[in-house]
Amino acid sequence: MPGHPPPSSPVSGTTASGTLSQTPAELPRVLGVLDGVVLSLSNISPTFSIGVGLGIIGASVGVGIPAAFLLGLLPILGIALAYTKLNQREANCGTAYVWVGKAVGPMPGYMIGWVTVVTQVLFLSYAIPLMGQYTLLAADSMGLHRVAGVSLAEAPASASIAVGLVLTVGLTALAILGVDVAARFQLVLISLEFVVLLAVCMWAVVAGRAADFDLSWFSPTVFSSPSVMATGILLAVFMYWGWETAFSVTEENADARTSARAGMWSLAAVAGLFLLAAVAFQRALTPEELVTNGERGLPYIGEMAAGGTGRAVTTVVLLCSIIACVQSVLIGSARQTLAMSRDGVLGAGWAAVHTRRRTPHLSTLRIAALSAVLALLSAGLGSLQDIIVGSVTSVGILISLYYAFAALACAITFAPDARRDPRMLVVTVLVPVVCGLALLGLGCYMVHSMWTSSEHFAFAADNGRFLTLVPVVILVTGVPAALWAKYGRRATYFHRDRPSAPRPCPPSATPHRPHDRPAL
């Protein structure tokens, strides 16, 4: 990472001349609850998760998809409670990286930050060509089948990457213009997605004839074995991933309670949507059809409902979902690196804030550039593409790990006060710890399941042992990076007695909107 901040005073702003300032620059407080909900939902990407993910869960759990979503929501709610309490104590866009570093230790905290940034960059490098591919598929579904003699439905990977890179440039520019501007853009996309998704799912619930509705679909007894139930819950937890984006923009909220409200509302909205879609898919598709067409389940049902028009519309909303997700991840990762730069573990440039737009523009540009380079390299290097796809596939292991550490940080932070307050003991210690342990157990089960699914190691994106080793490699490579940050950069983050640099927002704060840009 370029740039070395002073060991005792991380910098994070820029002056009008473009030089780095010596005082941390405040991010504008322009976001409301709706903005946070939109950003979180964009990151979760429920339309794409439903459109291509329900078939994967259905293949594993049969008709137990609704039960898997309900059971998977329970530990996530416990972690959301931990995030809420920790954010009340210290509102910081570094979230778990900051909280774990202070409560558990700087080395585990740094590893949380490392894992978050690396997985987000890898995801973006995977999503860029995917975004381009769905752009071409959407154009094909609307009647534009060929361009310059090339079939859009069967376009080469280079065409998908090229289109994806063009879209990434636009999304990056929009993110730099302002997080509130990006949130308004994503509100349009999310609104379109939800209207179409609700219409398709309601049609499937009413008109579906593949199976009669059964309340047992929501019961844990629907699973054929405990291992099947564990697999379903783990897959459901992975689909909920992204709700914490509401906390990554906490320093840009107009009110201190915005992140918690946005996080909970986004979880409620996406849980309801997942349950409705699960019922709809099981009503409209037989188990065999669900497995066969699961990866294109939404366009398949859209075509059942309205022929070619239905397929075209659902393909377009899948594209909208990917676009919104890419921008939301880009915004969240830029704030994560900003927080790490303020603590000196990354170069000072990562914390630079645009003098007029007041966004972390250099972090945003660098994250986008790194992701674009990896996407380009993956087109020519099959091995790198396997690593990227494998990382996205096995990221559930890392998710369970850093959620568990966030729960532990909450328990350690509030344990002294909780000894005198039984209610606080339950809310801030027992519930987060139980949920964190549950997710950690699911992660360990995932490791065992993936490792034993293959008899030998192969450098392939569908090899279980390869998928198990990818997150291990991500963790291991973080160790020398942490040592360099501690001893090479002499980062203040690794000194436990360092002064706190939170960005708390008073409960009745008046939002500051530069240039009168209205928040949602």
Whether the Cβ atoms of residue 452 and residue 419 lie closer than 8 Å to each other: no
Residues across the chain = 520
Residue 382's pLDDT band (cuts 50, 70, 90):
low
Q: Note whether 433 and 408 are within 8 A (CB).
A: yes
Q: Which has the closest alpha carbon to 117: 442, 435, 374, 490?
A: 374
- C-beta separation of 281 from 297 below 8 A: yes
What span, in angstroms and rounded, lies between the C-alpha atoms of 290 and 187?
A: 30
The answer, yes or no, to whether residue 515 has pLDDT greater than 60, is: no
* Tens-digit pLDDT profile for residues 394-447: 788 888 898 999 999 999 999 998 888 999 999 999 999 999 999 999 889 888
**pLDDT for res 28:** 85
Which residues, 6 or more positions from 212, have their beta carbon under 8 angstroms from its beta carbon?
A: none
Question: Which residues are registered as beta bridge partners of 146?
Answer: 151
pLDDT at 395: 82
**pTM to 2 decimal places:** 0.86
- DSSP β-bridge partners for residue 13: 21
pLDDT digits (tens, 9 = 90+) for 236-288: 988 898 899 999 999 998 888 899 999 999 999 999 999 999 999 999 988 88
| Cα–Cα dist 66/439, whole Å | 19
**Alpha carbons 479 and 34: distance in angstroms, whole number:** 38
CATH homologous superfamily for the domain 26-497: Amino acid/polyamine transporter I (1.20.1740.10)
283-335 pLDDT tens trace:
998 888 877 776 678 888 998 998 889 999 999 999 999 999 999 999 999 99
The Cβ of residue 22 has, within 10 Å, a number of other Cβ atoms equal to 12
Q: List all residues 6 or more positions away from 342 whose beta carbon is below 8 Å from its beta carbon.
A: 10, 12, 24, 94, 351, 501
- pLDDT(351) > 60: yes
